């Protein structure tokens, strides 16, 4: 069966686009579930990107088209969508409007190579690309940090995911050649090199997740907030030793222990450790997510275990919000594709359907 070619902007809207912008997905190397606890994170951008083309609508409605979904949505400014990709896009536009920037009715065309549902922040890439496009089209005086902040609030207020700011900051500020160390409380950041002699490998477990309202993600955040209140601090970032959490009831003790130990792993990594030590920190991070935070699943645990025992792999872990999705590994330079082939052959032979994502 031959698939019909994907329609372009002109075919959908009848005119050519007047602006175009893009933004990458991200993979998080260390610092999982720490951003909404005011903690520390260490992501990098991935090669896959979301592209947004924009033009002016000829009526009173916004018109959004997602090429990869072949889905078109038309929206009046006072009638927000209840779900789907349009809720993220509309949220970005509406928050700019609320901030005092008049936004006329727009046509938006979205095309993405960032995989959906695997923990690589496809939603943040769409938000940042949308906001960059609107900024360019309307010449708005908003910087890259503000774009990240608006994108985060769009996801919270309009898509129902009470997320931290890591994904949007990574999509807005990170690149594929370095790591972005970010203090999510102060937004202070540093660009750091990868460990010497190492590169990144990202594999999809084949088990997709959904982190929107109703998922365990929002529950984990609520548990962390309860733990912080019981400990008398603003956020778990303010606790630096896991011993301080031992008075907490279950499951709050384990949730807090993960966040505190994960922050400490990030802070050690950014001192410039060897690839071997960085990998050990990644392995410990996965164990903590699996056992204390309880966000892993059997397929991901299997994939990570195979990675961790493969020659040339320094360390591996679940990446993203959890409940399925991708794993990230730190591997010897020049060996990523060979390692991926070996790992996926073993992983898929036991009934799973994994695939390589990075290097693309």
Q: Using one digit for the tens of pLDDT, what is the confidence trace for 176-212?
A: 999 999 999 999 999 999 999 999 999 999 998 755 4
Judge if 9-190 and 195-358 fold alike in CATH terms.
Answer: no
What's the confidence (pLDDT) of residue 215? 60
Per the CB < 8 A criterion, the answer to whether 313 and 329 are in contact is yes
d(CA 335, CA 164): 33
Q: Considering 167, 175, 177, 301, which one is annotated as catalytic?
A: 167
Measured distance CA(189)–CA(226) in Å, rounded: 28
- Show Cβ contacts of residue 88 under 8 Å, excluding neighbours closer than 6 positions: 123, 126, 127, 130, 154, 155, 158, 159
Listed residue (66, 356, 264) closest to 74, CA to CA = 66
Contact 256, 227 (CB under 8 A): yes
In this prediction, residue 212 carries a pLDDT of: 43
pLDDT in tens, 297-327: 999 999 999 999 999 999 999 999 888 999 9
Domain residue spans of the chain: 9-190, 195-358
Q: Report strand pairing: 40-56 vs 19-30.
A: antiparallel
Cis peptide before 251 (omega within 30 of 0): yes
Q: What is the CATH number of domain 195-358?
A: 3.30.70.890
Tell me, what's the pLDDT at 228?
98
Is 238 catalytic? The answer is: no
7-18 confidence digits (pLDDT tens): 999 999 999 999
What does the pLDDT read at residue 196? 97
- For 9-190, CATH number out of 2.40.30.70, 3.30.230.10, 3.50.50.60, 3.40.50.720 equals 3.30.230.10
- Ranges of residues in the chain whose predicted pLDDT is under 50: 1-3, 212-214
């Amino acid at each position: 069966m031959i698939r019909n070619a994907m329609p372009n902007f002109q075919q959908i809207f009848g005119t050519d686009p007047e602006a175009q912008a893009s933004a990458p997905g991200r993979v998080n190397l260390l610092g999982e579930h720490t951003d909404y606890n005011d903690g520390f994170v260490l992501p990098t951008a991935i090669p896959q990107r979301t592209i947004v083309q924009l033009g002016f609508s000829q009526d009173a409605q916004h018109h959004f088209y997602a090429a990869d979904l072949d889905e078109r949505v038309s929206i009046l400014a006072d009638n927000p969508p209840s779900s789907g990709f349009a809720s993220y896009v509309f949220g970005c536009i509406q928050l700019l409007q609320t901030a005092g920037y008049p936004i006329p009715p727009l046509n938006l065309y979205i095309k993405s190579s960032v995989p959906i549902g695997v923990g690589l922040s496809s939603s943040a890439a769409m938000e940042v690309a949308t906001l960059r496009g609107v900024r360019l089209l309307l010449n708005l005086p908003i910087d890259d940090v503000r774009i990240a902040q608006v994108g985060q609030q769009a996801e919270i207020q309009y898509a129902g995911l009470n997320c931290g700011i890591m994904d949007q900051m990574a999509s807005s500020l990170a690149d594929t050649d370095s790591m972005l160390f970010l203090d999510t409380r102060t937004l202070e950041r540093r660009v750091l090199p990868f460990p010497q002699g190492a590169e990144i490998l990202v594999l999809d477990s084949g088990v997709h997740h959904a982190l929107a309202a109703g998922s365990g993600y929002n529950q984990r955040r609520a548990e962390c907030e309860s733990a912080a209140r019981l400990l008398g601090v603003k956020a778990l970032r303010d606790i630096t030793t896991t011993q301080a959490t031992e008075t907490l009831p279950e499951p709050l003790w384990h949730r807090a222990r993960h966040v505190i130990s994960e922050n400490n792993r990030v802070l050690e990594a950014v001192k410039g450790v060897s690839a071997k030590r960085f990998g050990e920190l990644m392995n410990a991070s996965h164990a903590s997510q699996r056992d204390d935070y309880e966000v892993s699943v059997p397929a991901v645990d299997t994939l990570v275990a195979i990675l961790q025992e493969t020659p040339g792999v320094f360390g591996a872990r679940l990446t993203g919000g959890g409940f399925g999705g991708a794993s990230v590994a730190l591997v010897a330079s020049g060996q990523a594709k060979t390692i991926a082939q070996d790992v996926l052959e073993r992983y898929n032979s036991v009934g799973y359907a994994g695939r390589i994502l990075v290097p693309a």
